Amino acid sequence: MLSRTADSLYWVSRYVERAEYLARILEATTRLSNLPSSYGGAASEWESCVKTAGCEELFGQHHQTANEANVHDFLCFSPENPSSIRNCIEIARANARAVRTALTYEMWDALNSAWLELKKYDGRKLTRDDFGRFIEFVKTLSLTFDGSAYRTMLRSDAYWFSRLGVYVERADNTARILDVKYHVLLPETERVGGSLDYFQWTTILREVSALTAYHWVYRESIKPWLVADLLIFNRQMPRSFASCYENISRFLDALGETYGRQGPSQRMARKTLSTLANRKMGDIYDNGLHEFITEFIDDNNRLGSTISEQYLV
């Protein structure tokens, strides 16, 4: 297939995934910030939300302090933020339109309908109820788009490139949450803060829609190291590093097999996957959780560029 087509498919998926991620962190933060301060609710949550969204610097250029209204606007609608939800949907739709023929009708319809509906939401005029509906709308878009891809696409290179976009983005997103919140996940002895962290932990789990999953997997009360374990090593958890890399590796292998040629991206993905398979939370704490996460983010970015060099240009 055309390199440009593969590139667009990959980025359509990345942007849809990113839009959903932003919606989830906004939803979780709104919930946390509404708690009484004695339970950990604090205005500073909005700053952490901006960090988790990965646009701290840009936000700082436009706002002095972070609050609910300006973060909602910046992350959802602001034209100044290239990664706002609105921009994500616009870019995804523009990419999709450029490669219409490579998408199934259902995928196009999901994205195009959402793009048409997006015009209804005027950021500054949204009530809290409207905002809730907007978040639901974004989550529904990603579920519909993803489900359409899963149910209607031929299992060929087009599908694999589109899936790669989902998982590379998702790995990055999960890692960013951990990068910002790692300090609340340190083992008890090192932890700063107190039982207030409980609400931080549940917020993290909510951000990756894993609160219920946590209970099913561990069957015990929420412990920071188990939250970290779930998000990093648990292969059953669809947003964990391990699960993302299992998928990335699988789809890259499918490409390698079909094209009859392996390359640097296959090797990189396999290496990360085996690291994730062979390490335990204990080692990671010994060597530094933050360092581990930062390294993962860098590796994941490198894999993105390698996929791009190998296939997309």
Partner 1 sequence: MAAFDEMSGFDGTTRDAYAKLEAWLKNTPPEEFATRRSQADVFFRRIGITFAVYGDEQSTERLIPFDIIPRVITGPEWSVLDRGLRQRVTALNMFLKDIYGPKECLRAGIIPEDLIYRNAGYCLQMINQPVPHDLYVHIAGIDVVRVDGDTFYVLEDNARTPSGVSYMLENREVMLRLFPELFAQHRVAPVENYPDALLATLRSLAPRTASRDPNVVLLTPGQFNSAFYEHSFLADKLGIELVEGSDLFVRDEIVYMRTTQGPKRVDVIYRRIDDDYIDPLAFRADSVLGVPGLIGAYKAGNVTLTNAVGTGVSDDKAVYSYMPEIVRFYTGEEPILKNVPTHRCREPDALKYVLDHLPELVVKEVNGSGGYGMLVGPHASKAQIETFRKKLKTEPEGFIAQPTLALSTCPTFVASGVAPRHVDLRPFVLTGSDGIRCVPGGLTRVALKDGSLVVNSSQGGGTKDTWVLDA
Structure tokens that stand for 62 in this block = 């436009």
Element (H, E) at 28: helix 3-33
Residue 112 binds to partner 1 (criterion: CB under 8 A): yes
Residue 247 CA to residue 263 CA, distance in Å, equals 17
Residue 69 binds to partner 1 (criterion: CB under 8 A): no
Are 46 and 66 spatial neighbours (Cβ–Cβ below 8 Å)? yes
CB of 2 to partner 1, least distance (A): 5
CB of 43 to partner 1, least distance (A): 40
* Nearest CA among 222, 221, 240 for reference residue 231: 240
- Of 43-51, 55-63, 233-241, 254-262, the segment contacting partner 1 by CB under 8 A is 254-262
Residue 39 binds to partner 1 (criterion: CB under 8 A): no
The site for partner 1, by CB under 8 A, has a size of 26
Give the residue with the Cβ less far from partner 1, 192 or 313.
Answer: 313
Mapping DSSP onto H, E and C, the string for 216-245 reads: HHHCCCCCHHHHHHHHHCCCCCCCCHHHHH
Residue 94 binds to partner 1 (criterion: CB under 8 A): yes
Residue 13 binds to partner 1 (criterion: CB under 8 A): no
Residue from 56, 90, 109, 130 binding partner 1 (CB under 8 A): 109
* Nearest CA among 157, 115, 167, 156 for reference residue 138: 115
Give the residue with the Cβ less far from partner 1, 6 or 166.
Answer: 6
Structure tokens that stand for 145 in this block = 């788009």
State how far the alpha carbon of 75 is from the alpha carbons of 118, 176, 192, 280, in Å. Answer: 14, 15, 29, 35
Residue from 69, 116, 143, 277 binding partner 1 (CB under 8 A): 116
Give the residue with the Cβ less far from partner 1, 150 or 259.
Answer: 259
Residue 159 binds to partner 1 (criterion: CB under 8 A): no
Cβ-defined contacts of 210-216 (< 8 Å, 24+)? 210/237, 210/239, 213/237
Give the residue with the Cβ less far from partner 1, 215 or 261.
Answer: 261
**Footprint of partner 1 (CB under 8 A):** 1-6, 94, 97-101, 105, 108-109, 112-113, 116, 157, 161, 255, 259, 261, 311-313
